Structure 1
Amino acid sequence: MRNVLFALLFCLPPLHAAELTLDLPGGSRTWETGALLAHPQARDLTIPDDVSYKKTMRYRAVPLAALLEGVTPEQHLQAVALDGFAAELTAAPLLAKQGSRAWLAIEDPASPWPPLAAGKPGAGPFYLVWTDPEAARIGPEQWPFQVARIRYLPSVAERFPALLPAKDASVEVKAGFAQFQKNCLACHRLNGAGDAQFGPDLNIPHNPTEYLAGNFLPRYIRDPQSLRRWPEGKMPGFSKQAISDEELGQLIGYLKHMAGRKVAP
């Protein structure tokens, strides 16, 4: 038996170098793992309380701003992961050189990162991490892992009009739309609109405000496992540091508003 196990392990393919594609205003470029690890601005980085690993992690990383040639702060980017997660990212925080700083962590094939959990893959080959995330209130959905592509796109409002609240919607509802883009759109669609392939649509056929009454919806957003214990559940909880009570109320107000604006996909 021991010889069989050894043979199986010996036959497993090694972790290979990966490629990151950048589709930016100035054109497309592909970076290979080795070139990124050898980038002149690459450095060893310690991330306390890593959002995905829930512990202190150490990475070889490059300032993301160093890779975003031609991108300006008012533009919009999307980080696409191997599993269909699509993080919508305003460019300004990604380009910042003070306060919260975005870094592209690069997995070295010779020293792979650990699994995110038992039976799950690691965060590689590329992972967007932040130093001092509290300074700009960077939320957990702004830490995409298993990144394969970063691309420049028009804003969410331009691409997906089915997500827009009514023109006469309240200030709170419009603020909730901004919270939806930041915290939900990476995993979910709404009215069939969005690029994510990860979670269910939040309006079709039913909006969560229609079936989670009272305080169950805010409780679910704060701690999904407190309402439905499911070992395979992938939705993270959103702490008050990630989204305040006021912002959570705005988000739920937006969802409730959109329950009255269903558009068939």
Structure 2
Amino acid sequence: MRKIITQILSICLLFCLSSCSQKVNKNDVIEVFDALDRTLEADSGILNGTLITETENRNIIDLDVQFIQNGNLRVAANMDLTSGKNTIENYIEFYIVDGKTYLKNMDTTSQSVLENIGLSPNSKISVYNIFLDYSDDQLVSLFESSSRKGNVIQLKLNNKQLSTLLDSMGTLSISKGEITVTLNDEYIENIKLDIQGYFAYNTISSDLNIQLDCDILNINALKNIALPADLDSY
């Protein structure tokens, strides 16, 4: 009787362990990267995000970007910067409208033509997707596990693979990597990134902490962007 009970307990334990062990759901991974491709090619939208990087100092970038790129490229971007204890609101403002670029960095303003940055009014802002040439199996291999609740997918990165991908010199070691993506109508509505690790090169070494939280709103629905009234004075 004791032997039977032991066997039953062992089976239950194995079942629990296998249930708790999260594996990668290939379909979820492919869905995330398909949504990434669609989002990068969107005709319009708003990006509201915060990027935190921490090595020796803690740097926080708050970014607000509005873009329309459906034949007449228009962009309005604003960045606030916090470094250590110092915060600079409107650290950088950048605009594209009517084939011209406008830049304001604190009190310094400038304007130029769009062609000077390799774009035309009919261009789309090209964001290179480094995963574009990866096969489905290669994409899946980047992750150790995945979980899903409704339209929210969390992917835990393969730390060794990520370290190699980000730094072929071996100066970067990743101890934690997680991506949480919220999907909406086959596009990415929110993406969170949490990467922790250690950087060492020659005599320089530091802990590394990168966190990103970005909302992507009004995808393919934005009709106008917000421009300052004094834009012509730049």
Q: Which has the larger radius of gyration?
A: 2
Higher helix fraction: Structure 1 or Structure 2?
1
* Bigger strand fraction: 2
Q: Same fold (TM over 0.5)?
A: no
TM-score per shorter chain, which class? under 0.3
Bigger RCO (CA 8 Å, 6+ sep): 2
Normalised to the residue count of structure 1, the TM-score between the two structures is: 0.21
